[in-house]
């Protein structure tokens, strides 16, 4: 009951007119959570899916337009095969189980990353849910899967260079908008707020271009323990900050 009162108190302090239009979360700490419980890492990842559901539904209710979750990085392929297989299996099951939640909340599923590397079953399920939810309008949920920002930028440079070589783009016209058009996130706005759980203070190759002017919020809470009140606290912290984008405080005012 006390926890619920704290949660409601935090919610009342959120300004619905000043929400981040694009919230990105580095979901960290599943393995450490499992270790603390004396369990295998797989149990931490499974418990973490519940925090995903809570976060997605809470963001939709608040009115956040875009939510991007760092689900699996290009570097994560180097983890033990058993853990990777478990994560891919959880991905398939989560997509199947959460489809109704996405539909109920009018949420569109999106994905960024090199999904050709995903197992065929996972890729098929992912593309199926993306297709079925493509007309939903309340919020866009983007999963960063097999994603690495350096790879994303490298691919963009190669594609743009090829277009210059073939006289499709003039080198003199290349600007930020051209680069944006060739990123995985071409249909998303820049990130306003990045949350990272588990006490780590790293970006871990996540949306390096898109977070140029983002605010950062680090919390010691492990991802499986991340609840509504933790999300509210992050957003309240964001709303207390002055975002100047290179200008002075006087210019903003």
Q: Are 137 and 103 spatial neighbours (Cβ–Cβ below 8 Å)?
A: no
Q: Of 64, 48, 72, whose CA–CA distance to 15 is shortest?
A: 64
What are residue 196's DSSP bridge partners?
26, 218
Q: Is 78 a catalytic residue?
A: no
Q: Catalytic residue, from 18, 28, 135, 180: name it.
A: 28
Which residues have a Cβ under 8 Å from the Cβ of 222 and sit 6 or more positions away? Answer: 28, 29, 30, 32, 33, 36, 197, 198
Closest CA to 27 of 72, 80, 88: 72
Catalytic residue check, 110 = no
Alpha-carbon distance of 243 to 253, in angstroms, equals: 11
For the CA atoms of 144, 150, 151, 157, the dihedral, rounded to the nearest 10 degrees, stands at 120
The single residue of 17, 18, 66, 76 carrying the catalytic annotation is 76
* Chain centroid to CA 21: 13
Active site residues: 28, 76
């Amino acid at each position: 009951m006390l926890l619920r009162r704290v949660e409601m108190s935090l919610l009342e302090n959120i300004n619905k007119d000043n929400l981040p239009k694009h919230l990105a979360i580095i979901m960290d700490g599943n393995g450490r959570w499992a270790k603390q419980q004396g369990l295998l890492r797989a149990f931490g990842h499974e418990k973490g899916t519940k925090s995903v559901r809570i976060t997605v539904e809470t963001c939709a209710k608040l009115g956040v337009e875009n939510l991007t979750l760092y689900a699996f990085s290009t570097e994560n392929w180097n983890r033990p095969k058993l853990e990777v297989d478990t994560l891919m299996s959880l991905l398939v099951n989560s997509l199947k189980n959460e489809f109704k939640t996405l539909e109920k909340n009018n949420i569109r599923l999106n994905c960024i990353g090199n999904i050709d590397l995903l197992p065929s079953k996972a890729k098929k399920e992912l593309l199926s849910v993306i297709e079925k939810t493509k007309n939903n309008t309340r919020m866009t949920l983007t999963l960063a899967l097999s994603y690495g920002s350096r790879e994303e930028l490298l691919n963009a440079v190669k594609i743009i260079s090829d277009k210059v070589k073939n006289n499709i783009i003039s080198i003199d016209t290349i600007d930020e908008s051209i680069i944006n058009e060739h990123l995985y996130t071409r249909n998303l706005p820049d990130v306003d707020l990045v949350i990272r759980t588990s006490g780590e203070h790293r970006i871990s190759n996540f949306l390096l271009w898109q977070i140029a002017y983002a605010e950062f919020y680090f919390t010691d809470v492990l991802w499986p323990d991340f609840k509504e009140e933790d999300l509210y606290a992050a957003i309240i912290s964001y709303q207390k900050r002055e975002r100047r984008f290179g200008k002075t405080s006087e210019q903003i005012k």
